[in-house]
Structure 1
Amino acid sequence: MIKHKSSTHPPKQDRGDATREKLLTSSIDVFGRYGFDGATTRMLAEAAGVNLQAIPYYFGGKEGLYIAAAEHLASIIIGHVAELRNTIIERLGRLDSAGEALSPDEARTILTQLAQHMVGLFVSRQSESWARFIIREQMEPTEAFERIYGSVMAPMIGTAGRLVATILNEPTQSDHVRLRTLSFVGSILVFRMANAAVLRQMGWQAVGPDELDILRRHAAGLVAALGGDKEARS
């Protein structure tokens, strides 16, 4: 009786999934560093360690890979915030179903949790390549920006906006609330988007556990300050 030897090679489907994943992950960094025009298909393939023909095979070409990379980036960020976001959405949903209003104190608590979570995510080394990609799309938006904005940015800003509106006791869609929300979100994003300036200004070599604790306390202070000055406007 002949015994079949077990193969040490993964099934073709698994190998294909792995190749696609490598391209998606590495292309976020390559596109972020060189932009769409500067990143060649050879650079993208070499960074992923795959055959050059894998790009047209899996994505139809560089443009298809670029859009897929944006969607992949959005899914990564969503994965990091999914648990907290789902908890917030469920809480708000229960209140809406019961016809009850969120209290300002609870809004502050939830917004603090959200801000502290985002600070931790944005100062991580993993987010460096994300920031490069997103900053380029902020400067010259393409279809990739629409994918990231629709999946990640709009829901996050929308949730923060509802919480800010509750704290300020103003309509969610008012110009003041929307601008205040954008300013608040920007005060969190600065720790990644202006990372070098933050480190230089604070005299830090890097953001370790102690520095992260300081930033989380700072995020809580930003929430506590909302409405504290009666939001005086000119």
Structure 2
Amino acid sequence: MAELPQLHSDDTRERLLAAGLALFGRHGYDGVTTRMLAAAARVNQSAIPYHFGGKEGVYRAVAEFIAAEMGPRIQSLTREAEQRLQDPATDPGELLVQVVRDLAAASFVPGHPLAWFIFLTREQFHPTPAFDVLYERFTRPGHTLVSRLLARVTGQPEESPENLLLAHALIGAMVAFGSARTTLQRRLGWSESDYEPAQLQAMLAVIEQHCRATVAGLRRQA
């Protein structure tokens, strides 16, 4: 078998990360071998222990990559929301609607492939040590931001079970556009691939509408 061409170090890592994201999402951690990773990335198998220490290192690096992409976006939204809440004129309900829409927009921007959602969904059902990376740097900060704003709307304690469940419901409505996209695409007759820009805008409008209706209902109950 002919030797694969030598690649630059960064190129090798990027290829292995891309291969890991696709393969781990499709087959799970146990269903992927280092041989499969090397073949998909078109690199020598020895590159895996050299760059990542082994298959587990590739898996964790995929989680860190997703967290590094999404974490700063959520941090930016959190800082902006906290600054706006310092203004007495800020409507926390309206701010919540905008934050949920912005979170959805950050999650569905072009370049975030279906493999992201498959990988994240697998970690929800079968958490590995990589889940801690995603939770601390990505999912918990987003969940905390939504629950904090919800508490301003409902008057409930931010960390109360009722408030956290409400926050989870709001986030879940948004996540469904990623984790259950095939059902939606078939119902609407859309191609089963990445969402197109016009489709994304339609989804964001519905997510905003749903959140706004939820806020209005909560205010009536308060």
Report the more deviating stretch, 186-195 or 169-178: 169-178
2:76 aligned to 78, 86, 91, which one? 86
Contact 1:115 1:220 (8 Å CA) reproduced: yes
Q: Which amino acid aligns with 2:58?
A: L
CA RMSD of aligned residues (A): 2.6
Q: Which amino acid aligns with 2:76?
A: N
Instruction: Report 1:38-49 matches (<5 A).
Output: 38-49=31-42
> Are residues 1:54 and 2:43 paired?
no
The secondary structure found in structure 1 opposite 2:63 is helix
Contact 1:41 1:62 (8 Å CA) reproduced: yes
Instruction: Select the structure of larger CA radius of gyration.
Output: 1
The alignment of Structure 1 onto Structure 2 pairs a total of residues equal to 213
For 1:5, the equivalent position in structure 2 comes to none
Residues 1:180 and 1:103: Cα distance change in structure 2 (over 3 Å):
farther
Residues 1:200 and 1:104: Cα distance change in structure 2 (over 3 Å):
farther
Alpha-carbon distance, 1:125 to partner: 6.2
Contact 2:100 2:146 (8 Å CA) reproduced: no
Give unmatched runs, 5+ long, in structure 1. Answer: 1-11
Instruction: Report 1:214-225 matches (<5 A).
Output: 214-225=202-213
Give unmatched runs, 5+ long, in structure 2. Answer: 1-5
Counterpart CA distance in 2 for 1:91 and 1:114 is 8
Alpha-carbon distance, 1:101 to partner: 7.2
Residues 1:184 and 1:48: Cα distance change in structure 2 (over 3 Å):
same
Identity %: 33
1:136 aligned to 111, 117, 122, which one? 122
Alpha-carbon distance, 1:28 to partner: 1.0
Instruction: Report 1:196-215 matches (<5 A).
Output: 196-205=182-191, 207-215=195-203
Contact 2:143 2:167 (8 Å CA) reproduced: yes
Counterpart CA distance in 2 for 1:164 and 1:200 is 33
Tell me the TM-score normalized by structure 1. 0.80
